[in-house]
């Protein structure tokens, strides 16, 4: 699947979501569903162009996180 240039997309009506573990802070990673794609941004910089991933890419990252592959980063 080819991904669109994120700078060309309109994110003004996108519903951004973040983890309930963020405690309401602005120090979070936020996700938004864009059909078959997922946008990812830094909540401290909502005006910056988000990264775009396929659902398969996000699923692989989440599976690794659930398995503990990234625990050494915290």
* Cα–Cα dist 41/28, whole Å: 9
Instruction: Specify the DSSP class assigned to residue 31.
Output: E
Q: How many CB atoms lie within 10 A of CB 36?
A: 10
1 domain-assigned: no
45 domain-assigned: yes
Helices H / strands E in the chain, number of each = 1, 4
pLDDT for residue 6:
86
49 domain-assigned: yes
pLDDT over 80 (residue 68): yes
31 domain-assigned: yes
58 domain-assigned: yes
Domain containing 12: what range? 6-73
pLDDT-derived band at 37, boundaries 50, 70, 90: very high
Give the number of domains in the chain. Answer: 1
26 domain-assigned: yes
The CA distances from residue 17 to 20, 34, 54, 69, in Å, are: 9, 12, 17, 23
Higher pLDDT, 62 or 21: 62
30 domain-assigned: yes
pLDDT over 80 (residue 64): yes
The CA distances from residue 15 to 1, 2, 45, in Å, are: 23, 23, 16
């Amino acid at each position: 699947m080819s991904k669109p240039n994120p700078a060309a997309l309109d994110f003004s009506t996108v519903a951004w979501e973040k983890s309930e573990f963020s405690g309401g802070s602005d120090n979070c990673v936020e996700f938004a569903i864009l059909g078959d794609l997922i946008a990812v941004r830094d909540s401290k910089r909502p005006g910056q162009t988000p990264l775009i991933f396929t659902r398969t890419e996000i699923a692989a990252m989440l599976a690794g996180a659930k398995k503990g592959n990234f625990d050494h980063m915290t």
